[in-house]
Every structure is written in C-alpha cells, then in structure tokens.
Amino acid sequence: MRPPYLLLDVDGVLIPFPDEHGSTPTTHARHDVVPAGRSADNPVTVWLDPAHGRLLMNVIRAGLVTPVWCTSWRQDAATLIGPLLGLPPLPHVDLPRPQITTSHPNGYLWKRDHVDAWLADAPAVWIDDDFTSLDHAWAAERAARGTATLLVQPDPHLGLQPEHLTEVTKWASQLTAAHAA
Ligand SMILES: [Mg+2]
C-alpha cells in the first residue's frame, strides 16, 4: 500500500493567528519572506516554531505518510516556509486562486473540491484549521466508502501541537498494520 497523503496547511497550523492583543506564541520566531510575485521591499512577516520542523521531520522519516503542502501559500510553502523549518522540498497541491471573500464560500473549506479531485481515492490525513461540519461529514463519507480519511483541526491561535502529529502517526501506523495483516 502506498502511504496515505499528509496534507499540510500553513496559516493557522504552522503560522498561528495573533490573539486579540496581536501577539503570537513565544515559541515562534519571526521571519520576513517574499512570496513569488511580490517585490523584495514588500515582504510578509511570518512566525514559525522551530520545534514544528523537528516534529514534522520525525513524521516524514517514519515513512508512514507522503507529506504534501495544501495551502494558499502553494509553491511558496515549499520554497519559503519549509526551508525555515528545516524541511526537505515537498510537493504541493496546486490550488487555484478563486475570487472569494470567505474561506467557506459553499459552507465548506474552499480547498476541498480541489483536494477531493486531487486525491481521487487515495487515503489521506489532512491538517487544516478551517474545516466546517460539512468537511467532517465529507471525511466520514469517504472513510465509510473504504478510503481512510482523517481530518486534524488545530486551533488557529495555537497552531499545530505535538499531539496532532501523534494522532497522525498513530492513525497511519494502524492503517499500515491493517493492510499488512
Ligand atoms: Mg489555515
């Protein structure tokens, strides 16, 4: 069995949202990055936790999942965000750039239809802070059809926690063991 995909969001997962006082967790370090198509004198400030790099590398090295960026950062996740965390170049889901003013234009995460098509019938664990109940229903239906699917949803103000990756590893290990049995 091919390892399941690990779809990884950036904003609200690796880059937490500021709290009401505008501050970010003290675990995170400031970086200024210049996304593709943006001028060098107009960088974007991001806050990243170096511990995330180590935690994600542990998951990647275990070989139980195939990691893929799934973020509005698109290719920039691989070229700008990953290296700051010490991650190797990873592929990304080539999401479109819809003209939307909400992340849930149809009541569910805007990425989902693209992810659904991209995955086809591949098993996947998807970490994103922005799922709605309709996304959870989609995942449950997928799993009920026999395509292992897990959604992991960090609190966007806290971002990814070690226990989220523990859950990913446990889920992927059980899946691998079930296929080997
Ligand atoms: Mg997000």
Q: 181 CA distance to ligand 1 centroid (A)? A: 36
Mean pLDDT of the chain: 94
Give domain status of residue 80, yes or no.
Answer: yes
Give domain status of residue 102, yes or no.
Answer: yes
Give domain status of residue 31, yes or no.
Answer: no
Give domain status of residue 163, yes or no.
Answer: yes
Domain count, the chain: 1
Q: 95 CA distance to ligand 1 centroid (A)? A: 13
Q: 120 CA distance to ligand 1 centroid (A)? A: 22
Q: Which of 38-52, 89-103, 109-123 has the lowest mean pLDDT?
A: 89-103
So what's the pLDDT on residue 143?
Answer: 97
Element (H, E) at 29: strand 29-33
- Name 6's bridge partners: 67, 125
Of the pLDDT bands very low, low, confident and very high (cuts 50, 70, 90), residue 179 is: confident
Q: 165 CA distance to ligand 1 centroid (A)? A: 16
Cα–Cα distance measured from residue 47 to residue 43, given in angstroms and rounded to the nearest whole number: 13
- pLDDT exceeds 80 at position 1: no
Assess contact for 166 and 64: CB atoms under 8 A. Answer: no
Which of 17, 117, 115 shows the shortest CA–CA distance to 69?
115
Range of the domain at 78: 5-15+49-180
- Which residues lie closer than 8 Å to 169 by C-beta, 6 or more apart? 59, 62, 64
Q: 109 CA distance to ligand 1 centroid (A)? A: 10
- pLDDT exceeds 80 at position 181: no
Give domain status of residue 146, yes or no.
Answer: yes
pTM for this predicted structure: 0.95
Residue 86, domain CATH: 3.40.50
Cα–Cα distance measured from residue 4 to residue 62, given in angstroms and rounded to the nearest whole number: 13
Q: 97 CA distance to ligand 1 centroid (A)? A: 15
**How does pLDDT run across 41-93, given as a tens digit for each residue?**
999 999 999 999 999 999 999 999 999 999 999 999 999 999 999 999 999 99
**How does pLDDT run across 131-157, given as a tens digit for each residue?**
999 999 999 999 999 999 999 999 999
Q: 103 CA distance to ligand 1 centroid (A)? A: 9
Give domain status of residue 36, yes or no.
Answer: no
**Protein residues placing their CB within 5 Å of the ion ligand 1:** 9, 11-12, 129-130
Q: 10 CA distance to ligand 1 centroid (A)? A: 6
